[in-house]
Amino acid sequence: MSKSGLLRIINAYSQRETAGRKPGPGRPKKTTKRDCRALKLIATRNRQTSLTSISFTFLSSDSNILSRQTVFRRLRQEGIRGFCCKKVPLISQANRKKIKLSKTHKNLNCEHIIWSDESRFCLISDRPQGCLRRSNEAYYRSVQRKL
């Protein structure tokens, strides 16, 4: 270490009683590293929960009150973002046999076809459901939407 560097450290220690860096500008974060880990754990346990419900869950476990935007920022720093859940159905062995059978019989010539009048009723919304995950976790079984 050079002489000037050593003198700078001695002067800093004599003025501030510490040789560490000065605190940076700006407001300090409301959450600690422990709080960020807790938010990440809450978000990964139930991926289809909203940011508002995560902040309420965090409120019940700790005394800090976090806004939806703060939860959004902390999860974004952890690499967790909101995505549309991927629909990947689990194909059982019985369903694989049915698919194979339907593919073999798809070119049969049927002369008697019965048409029925069908109506579509939606009891649940058709729009894609959102989930919180990392960008590389699209097809992980723990993140997939339950069909």
| pLDDT for the residue 146 | 47
Successive 10-residue mean pLDDT values, the chain, 147 residues: 81 80 82 89 88 84 80 92 76 79 71 63 70 77 50
| pLDDT for the residue 114 | 61
Q: Which residues of 48-72 are buried (b: 16+ CB within 10 A; e: fewer)?
A: ebebeebbebbeeeeeeebeeebbb
**pTM for this structure?**
0.55
| pLDDT for the residue 85 | 77
| pLDDT for the residue 139 | 66
Sign, CA dihedral 129-133-134-138, equals negative
Element (H, E) at 89: none
| pLDDT for the residue 109 | 66
Instruction: Specify the DSSP class assigned to residue 142.
Output: T
- Token pair recorded at residue 59: 């409120």
